[in-house]
């Protein structure tokens, strides 16, 4: 018990993979190891006494080694599942991935069918959760056109889904310049014509400043359409709420009251 070694790593795929690499090669034995990703919720607040903390510096070479072994020794599917778990907001995902991989390296590609196993089941559920939110956002993301024709969007997802949704838009809008901000994480993805998209951290920008620049006539046309397409005899706010949770609406044009038009 009091011999627990806690590998404390960055809250990122590479961070978690690095920790797994180091934990694995440490020789402490799986049952004496815990992987803990750093996030606001757990930083220093619940340090466990009698445990030894090992701070893991993210190391890309080591991370790549782990991803390669997952791909070759388990399967591509398992690799993708692992990545989605790493993007989730689930506290303890680092350790979950570690447990999943221990099983995976043992069982091989069939690991994904072991749904009655608790670890696999949790991984499976988190996958649905993360993919589900990403899929929602493929539809719910709204771009506003800025004066310079740049399309901008702000989202507040629970999970870190930018890297899951951006490829869809890069494929769909190859000639557009667009930016998607993740207002919860202060990162954004950026796409320019004929370039591959990138993700950038933007530590100190007040995203809300962007609202006031918008003066886009299509926003009111869209609202007109949205209001008129509903069948009055069937109005059903509960069903609407069930299908489109309130939390998405603050970033969706049709639910935002008329914007304050530009200051210019």
Partner 1 sequence: MVIQEGMSIQRKLEILSDAAKFDVACTSSGVDRKGNGSGIGNSLACGICHTFSADGRCISLLKILFTNECIFDCKYCINRSSNDVVRASFTPREVCELTMEFYRRNYIEGLFLSSGIMVSPNHTMELIFDALRMLRDEYHFNGYIHCKAIPGTDPVLVEAIGWYTDRMSVNLELPTASSLKRLAPHKSRKNILKPMRQIQLRRESNNEYLGIYDGRRHVSNQITMTNDKSSEITNDNRNSDRDLLLRVNNTTNIVPYNKAPIGKSRYVPAGQSTQMIIGATDESDYHIMSVSETLYDNFDLKRVFYSAFVNVNDDSNLPSTVSGPPLLREHRLYQADWLLRFYGFKIAELLNEKNPNFNVLLDPKCDWALRHLDEFPVEVNKADYYTLLRVPGIGVNSARRITTARKSAILDFKDLKAMGIVLKRAVYFITCNGRMMYPIKLDEDFITRELLAVKDRLPFGIEKDITYKQLSLFDDVSFQPDDRLMLQEISHA
Per CB under 8 A, residues contacting partner 1 are 110, 113-116, 118, 121, 125, 127-129, 131-136, 138-145, 151, 153, 168-169, 171-176, 216, 218-222, 224-240, 242-244, 252-254
Nearer to partner 1, 49 or 231 (CB): 231
Give min distance, CB of 230 to partner 1, in A: 4
Q: Strand 178-182 and strand 151-155: pairing? A: parallel
Token pair for 61: 């070479």
Q: How far is residue 175's CA from residue 171's CA, in Å, rounded to a whole number?
A: 9
| Residue 161: partners with Cβ closer than 8 Å, 6 or more residues away | 87, 130, 133, 134, 137
Nearer to partner 1, 49 or 246 (CB): 246
Q: How far is residue 195's CA from residue 166's CA, in Å, rounded to a whole number?
A: 13
Tell which phi-psi region holds residue 44, choosing left (phi > 0), alpha (psi between -120 and 50) or beta: left
Give min distance, CB of 20 to partner 1, in A: 24
Tell which phi-psi region holds residue 29, choosing left (phi > 0), alpha (psi between -120 and 50) or beta: left
Nearer to partner 1, 60 or 226 (CB): 226
Nearer to partner 1, 36 or 219 (CB): 219
Token pair for 179: 């930016």
Token pair for 95: 């350790």
Tell which phi-psi region holds residue 212, choosing left (phi > 0), alpha (psi between -120 and 50) or beta: alpha
Give min distance, CB of 202 to partner 1, in A: 21
Give min distance, CB of 12 to partner 1, in A: 21
Nearer to partner 1, 39 or 115 (CB): 115
Give min distance, CB of 160 to partner 1, in A: 16
CA-only gyration radius of the chain, Å? 22
Nearer to partner 1, 72 or 240 (CB): 240
Give min distance, CB of 132 to partner 1, in A: 2
């Amino acid at each position: 018990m009091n011999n627990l070694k806690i590998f404390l790593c960055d809250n990122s795929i590479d961070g978690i993979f690095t920790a797994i690499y180091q934990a694995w090669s440490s020789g402490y034995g799986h049952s004496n190891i815990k992987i803990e990703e750093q996030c606001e919720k757990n930083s220093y607040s619940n340090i466990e006494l009698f445990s030894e903390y090992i701070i893991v510096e993210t190391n890309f070479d080591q991370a790549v080694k782990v991803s390669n072994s997952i791909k070759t020794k388990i399967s591509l599917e398992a690799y993708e599942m692992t990545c989605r778990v790493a993007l989730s907001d689930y506290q303890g995902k680092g350790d979950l991935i570690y447990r999943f991989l221990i099983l995976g390296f043992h069982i091989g590609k069939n690991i994904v069918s072991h749904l009655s196993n608790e670890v696999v089941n949790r991984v499976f559920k988190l996958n649905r959760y993360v993919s589900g939110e990403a899929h929602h956002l493929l539809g719910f993301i709204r771009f506003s056109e800025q004066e310079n024709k740049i399309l901008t969007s702000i989202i507040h997802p629970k999970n870190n889904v930018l890297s899951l949704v951006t490829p869809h838009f890069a494929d769909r809008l190859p000639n557009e310049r667009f930016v998607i901000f993740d207002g919860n994480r202060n990162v954004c993805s950026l796409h320019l014509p004929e370039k591959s998209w990138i993700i950038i951290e933007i530590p100190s920008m007040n995203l809300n400043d962007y609202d006031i620049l918008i003066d886009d006539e299509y926003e009111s046309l869209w609202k007109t359409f949205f209001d008129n397409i509903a069948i009055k005899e069937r109005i059903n706010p509960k069903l609407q709420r069930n299908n489109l949770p309130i939390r998405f609406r603050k970033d969706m044009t049709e639910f935002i009251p008329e914007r304050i038009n530009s200051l210019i």
